[in-house]
Each structure stands twice: as C-alpha cells, then as structure tokens.
C-alpha cells in the first residue's frame, strides 16, 4: 500500500515550524508594541518587518533572562524561591520596554495630540 499522499515529510514539518515561529514573533512584537504604547505612552513602529524583528529580539532576550530563573527554581524549589522569582520577573518588563525603545517611532500619537491641545490653548 502506498500512503505517500498522507505521509509526513521532514520538509513539511520544517516549513510549518518556520511559519509558526514567524507568526509567534509577529504576535510577540505586536503585543509588546501595544502594551508599550498603553503603559508608557511610547509609540512603536508597526510595519510588519519592525514587528517581526521586535518580536524576535524580545523572544531571544526573554529566553536568555529566563535561564537563570529556571535553574534557581529547579535547584531550590520552595515558597521563598517562588516569591523571590516573582519579584525578579519584574525585570522582564524592563527588558520588554528596552527592546521596544529600539523601535520607537519619530512622533508618538499620544504626545502629538497632547502637544496640539496644549500649544493652541486659549488659556495661556
């Protein structure tokens, strides 16, 4: 029996993995761009290439930052370790903001609208 049409080839698996990672990087970059704009008011470039690169860099840096945290949690599994790791995980937000700053657009929309409102105010 020939099951060639239904068999999995290594090439199909590799292509699906590549597409999956590209979608993951795009989503990570988009989520970080939106959160950076909402939390800190920093507008980020949102073309697809910027979001893809942004997501890739953020993914790699968060993986590197998570390695020591994972090792400590694995070696010393206790409640105190979990509390300390919760505090250290705040560092990941700093990493995300730093990465987002590399793709900052020239004129943030929130700052441009605030500037327009204050510069033409008749109460000055």
Q: Residues 33-57: what's their mean pLDDT?
A: 89
In sequence order, which residues have a C-beta less than 8 Å from that of residue 96 and are 6 or more positions away? 32, 35, 36, 58, 62
The strand ranges marked E within the chain are none
pTM comes to 0.70
- How far does Cα 41 stand from its chain's mean position? 16
Digit-coded pLDDT (tens) for 70-101: 888 788 888 888 888 888 777 788 888 888 88
Report how far residue 104's alpha carbon sits from residue 32's, in angstroms, rounded to the nearest whole number.
Answer: 12
Q: Where do the structural domains in the chain lie, given as residue ranges?
A: 24-105
The whole-angstrom separation of Cα 111 and Cα 107 is 7
Q: What is the tens place of the pLDDT at every residue in 62-74?
A: 899 888 888 887 8
d(CA 27, CA 32): 9
């Amino acid at each position: 029996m020939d099951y060639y049409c239904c068999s999995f080839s290594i090439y199909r698996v590799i292509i699906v993995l590549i597409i999956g990672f590209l979608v993951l990087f795009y989503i990570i970059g988009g989520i970080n761009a939106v959160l950076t704009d909402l939390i800190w008011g920093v507008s980020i470039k949102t073309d697809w290439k910027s979001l893809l690169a942004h997501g890739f860099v953020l993914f790699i840096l968060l993986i590197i930052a998570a390695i020591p945290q994972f090792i400590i949690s694995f070696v010393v599994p206790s409640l105190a370790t979990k509390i300390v790791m919760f505090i250290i995980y705040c560092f990941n937000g700093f990493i995300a903001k730093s990465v987002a700053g590399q793709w900052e657009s020239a004129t943030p929309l929130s700052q441009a609208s605030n500037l327009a409102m204050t510069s033409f105010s008749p109460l000055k």
